[in-house]
């Protein structure tokens, strides 16, 4: 099914072949999810440098606040109970979930289940996109933050995208997703993001750019069966 030519929805074959969890790396010139830079990559070195500088300091001792706590935000049953919905994103369309963070922090990861399409290996170029609400809780259509390109291959396993220097996440609602910008050079098709069969479509959207404008289309309007298989990891500072 299509709505204003913004998405393609078709039944997923029940006998689709299972996909290996391990996929050979593809050199695209963009980072794959398993090679993204860890946001914590410089903390130990910075701490060591701070210790060396404090060796002769007779002032107040610094209090170590400890590492941040990573909170996984988002509920879906895409792994256990995927729906038969098969939404194929077009270029400049994004699978978007509105999630609720229990505390303010930093966006550090995005987990996604994106499976193969029939006919062979799937690989697409995607960007993580993020929307922060305004002062009254409304969301502008243009993303607040747009991540670098990454290659996402089809897999039945949950894939974790590590986000370096991610945006600040508020206490409460925010939106996050994956925008598709084209297939990888080695494959003719992109993977599809799974939708669960929960019947809960609140907070489920397709974001689409049409010319110079963009819009959110709700899962209710699209007649989707449930929620995108997306979860966000938010690093909350220790108190």
Q: Which residues pair with 215 in a beta bridge?
A: 208
- pLDDT the model gives residue 65: 58
pTM of the model: 0.74
Ranges of each domain in the chain: 67-236
- pLDDT the model gives residue 175: 99
**DSSP output for the chain:** --STTS-EE-PPPTTPPP--S-------SS--GGGSPPTTTTHHHHHHHHHHHTTT--SPPPP---PPEEEEE----TTTSB-S--EEPPTTEEEEEEEEESS-EEEEEEEE-EEPPTTS--EEEEEEEEE---TTS---SS-SEEEEEEEEE--SS-EEEE-TTPPEE-SEEEEEEEEEEEE-TT-S---EE-BBSSS--TTEEEEEEETTEEEEEEHHHHT-SS-BSEEEEEEEPP-
- pLDDT the model gives residue 102: 97
- pLDDT the model gives residue 238: 86
Taking alpha carbons only, the member of 233, 239, 232 closest to residue 40 is 233
CATH fit for domain 67-236, picks 1.10.10, 2.60.120, 3.30.160, 1.10.390: 2.60.120
Residues of the chain falling short of pLDDT 70: 1-66
- pLDDT the model gives residue 86: 85
**DSSP output for 82-142:** B-S--EEPPTTEEEEEEEEESS-EEEEEEEE-EEPPTTS--EEEEEEEEE---TTS---SS
- pLDDT the model gives residue 1: 38
Burial of 169: CB neighbours in 10 Å, binned 0-12, 13-18, 19+? buried
- pLDDT the model gives residue 66: 66
Q: Which residues pair with 110 in a beta bridge?
A: 161, 232
Distances (CA, A) of 58 to 50, 55, 169: 14, 8, 37
């Amino acid at each position: 099914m299509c709505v204003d030519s913004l998405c393609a929805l078709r039944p997923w074959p029940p006998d689709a072949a299972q996909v290996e969890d391990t996929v050979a790396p593809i050199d695209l010139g963009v980072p794959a999810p398993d090679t993204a830079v860890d946001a914590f990559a410089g903390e130990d070195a910075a701490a060591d440098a701070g210790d060396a500088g404090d060796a002769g300091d007779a002032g107040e001792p610094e209090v170590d606040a400890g590492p941040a706590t990573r909170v996984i935000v988002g509920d879906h049953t895409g792994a256990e109970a995927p729906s038969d919905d098969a939404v194929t994103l077009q270029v400049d369309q994004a699978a978007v979930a509105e999630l609720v963070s229990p505390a303010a922090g930093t966006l550090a990861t995005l987990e996604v289940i994106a499976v193969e399409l029939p006919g062979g290996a799937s690989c697409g170029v995607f960007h993580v996109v993020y929307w922060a609400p305004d002062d009254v809780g409304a969301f502008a259509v243009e993303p607040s933050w747009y991540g670098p390109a990454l290659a996402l291959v089809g897999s039945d396993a949950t894939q974790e995208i590590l986000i370096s220097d991610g945006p600040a996440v508020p206490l409460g609602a925010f939106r996050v997703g994956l925008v598709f910008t084209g297939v990888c050079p080695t494959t003719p098709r992109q993977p599809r993001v799974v939708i669960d069969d929960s019947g809960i479509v609140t907070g489920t959207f397709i974001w689409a750019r049409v010319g110079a404008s963009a819009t959110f289309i709700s899962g209710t309007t699209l007649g989707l069966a449930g929620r995108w298989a997306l979860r966000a990891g938010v690093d909350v500072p220790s108190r």
